[in-house]
Amino acid sequence: MNKRKVVLTGDRPTGPLHLGHYVGSLQNRVELQHTHRQYIIIADTQALTDNADDPAKIRRGVLDVALDYLAVGIDPNVSTIFVQSMVPELAELTMYFLNLVTVARLQRNPTVKEEMKQKGFGANVPAGFLTYPVSQASDITAFKANLIPVGGDQLPMIEQTLEIVRRFNNVYGTVLVEPEALISRVKRLPGTDGKSKMGKSLGNAIYLSDSPAAVKQKVMSMFTDPNHLRASDPGKVDGNPVFSYLDALDPDRDALEEMKAHYSRGGLGDVKVKEHLIAVLEELLVPIRFRREKFVKDHAEVFNMLRQGTQKARAVAAQTMSEVRKAIGVDYF
C-alpha cells in the first residue's frame, strides 16, 4: 500500500446514490482503498447549508449513503468512513480558514456560482453555502490528503483549497499539505431524460438501490435519438444517453462498438439497445443489491461502523489541529 498517498473523497447525504456517482467516484474508491490510505467523508454539515429547514432529510441521507458505500464494496476495515459533523475539529479549522479568504473570491468560484444559479439563491444565498468551499478545504487538509478524486466541474474547489493552503503556510509556516486532483476517468452521466445532469430533484436518475422493475421502467423510458423513428433509420450515437451509459458501463468494448456501428447505419431499434443496457445494468447491480440487503437488515451495525470510522478520523484531525493551533499561536494551555 502506498502510505505516502492519502485520499479524501465523499458525498453530501441528500439522498441515495445513483449511477452517476458510481461511474464518477465509487468505482475509484473501491480500487483506491487497496493501494492508498483513504478517508471517505459523509458531508452532512455541508449538506445542511442548503437544507437547513429539512434536517430529517440529511439524517436519512447519512444512512442511505453509508448503505450504498457498503453495497458497492467499500470496506470499512480498509477505508475510513466518517460523518463530518461528528468531527468538530473540521468546524474549527474552517473558522481559521475563513480569515484567509475573501467573500469576493468565494463569489468568483465557478462551481459555487453555477450551483447558486441552479438553486436560484441570488443575493439570498445562505452564508454557509457560499463558504462551503472553505469547509471542503478543511476536510482535505485536516487529513493532509494529497490526492482528491473529483470530476472536472469540481476543479475550482481544489484550486480554492490550494490557495488557502498556500496562504496558511506562508503566514504561519509550513504545516498543511497541498492536494492534487485525480480526475475521474468517466465523464458525468446524463439524466435518463437526456439532460446533462442526473439528480434526485430532477427525477432522471437510476439509483444503485433501484429494483429490477424500476431499472427496466427507467431505461425503457429513456431519451434516445428523436429522429430514430424506425429501426431501419440510421441513428445518432453521440449525445444519445443510452449509449453514454453503455460507454461507461459495458465491459464488452468490441461488441459495443459493433452495436454503435449497427445503430448508426440503421437496422437496430431502440428497444434492442435498451434491453442490452438493462442486461448490463443488472449484471452490475445484482451484487450491489445483494450486499445492500445484507446491511439494511442491521442499521445498528452500520452506525457502529460509522462510529468507529469517525473515531479514527477524529484522532487524525485532532493531531493536525494541534499543529495548526501551535502554528497560529492559539495553543494557550
Rounded CA gap, 84 and 37, in Å? 18
Strand-pairing partners, residue 9, are 40
Angle 78-157-310 from CA coordinates, rounded to 5°: 30
Inter-CA distances, 168 with 101, 164, 172, 293, 327, Å: 10, 6, 6, 46, 9
Q: In this structure, what C-alpha cell is assigned to residue 275?
A: 434491453
**pLDDT reported for residue 153:** 76
**pLDDT reported for residue 150:** 84
**pLDDT reported for residue 122:** 83
Strands 180-183 vs 36-42: parallel, antiparallel or unpaired: unpaired
**pLDDT reported for residue 25:** 85
The residue ranges of the chain whose pLDDT is under 50 are none
**pLDDT reported for residue 119:** 85
Q: At what angle do helices 132-142 and 299-328 cross, to 10 degrees?
A: 90
Inter-CA distances, 235 with 197, 278, 279, Å: 23, 19, 21
Read off the amino acid at residue 270. Answer: D
**pLDDT reported for residue 154:** 82
**pLDDT reported for residue 2:** 53
pLDDT tens for 20-39 read 889 888 888 999 999 999 99
Q: What share of the chain is helix, strand, coil (3-state, %, to 5)?
A: 60, 10, 30
Q: What domains sit in the chain, N to C, each tagged with a CATH number?
A: 2-189+298-328 (3.40.50.620), 212-293 (1.10.240.10)
Q: In this structure, what C-alpha cell is assigned to residue 16?
A: 441515495
